[in-house]
Structure formats: C-alpha cells, structure tokens
Amino acid sequence: MPLDNLSELKRRVPGGKYTLARAIAERARQLQSGQVIPLVEVRTPNPLSVAIDEIVQGKITFRFGDGTTAAHEAGEVAAPASLEETLAITPDAAPATEEAI
C-alpha cells in the first residue's frame, strides 16, 4: 500500500489505526470467503489489497455497534466507544462488472 493512501484510509475509517486494521481485515475476510464480490477493479488477487482499494475509493461504509457510521463524505468522525463493538461493512455502490474484474 502506498503511503499516500494512508491519510485517505485514516480519513475514511474513524477510530484510529486499530479500527482501521480491523476494518481492512474484516473486509478481506469477507472477500476471501467468497460471500461478497469486489466493488472495485481487481488488480491483484490479494484480498487485503482489494479491501484497501475499496476503502480508499469510498465504496464501502463502516457501521459500528452503537449505530454510528463513518461519515466520510461530510468529513465527520464518528468513532466507536470501544474496539469490542461490532463492525459491519456495507457497500455504498454497485459491484464492479465482470468485464472490469
């Protein structure tokens, strides 16, 4: 991951580096299991790289157990009360087409 993406990742996932790592890992697990399809053009088979690309491009939203959402469009930060709260990932856009994958 290029370092220029790091600031964008931190902006899109509030709550610090541990929440960011958890969000990337959770999305990568979803991609690896095959229960979801990538929402971005796949440039590498590595699910971690795909998850990072989805976050950087703003294709997914993070919802924490207390109901707060990462309000990345408005630039607002809604951090969870603790790292033990559930983290749900929901798509913001339609999946990438088969031709793009």
Q: Where are the beta strands (DSSP E) in 1-101?
A: 60-64, 87-91
Residues in a beta bridge with 88:
63
Report residue 61: phi and psi, to 5°: -115, 145
What is the model's pTM?
Answer: 0.62
What is the domain extent for residue 54? Answer: 4-91
Cα gap 41→73, rounded to integer Å: 22
Domain count for the chain: 1
Q: How far is CA 92 from CA 4, 58, 69, in A?
A: 23, 7, 12
Q: What CATH number should be reported for the domain holding residue 47?
A: 3.90.940
Is residue 52, in this structure, part of any structural domain at all?
Answer: yes
Is residue 84, in this structure, part of any structural domain at all?
Answer: yes
Quote the tokens at residue 78: 């809604």
Comparing 28 with 1, which gets the higher pLDDT? 28
pLDDT of the residue at 46: 92
pLDDT of the residue at 70: 54
Is residue 99, in this structure, part of any structural domain at all?
Answer: no
Tell me the per-residue pLDDT of 4-63, one tens digit each, with 9 for 90 and over: 677 777 777 777 788 888 888 998 999 999 888 888 888 888 999 998 888 888 888 777
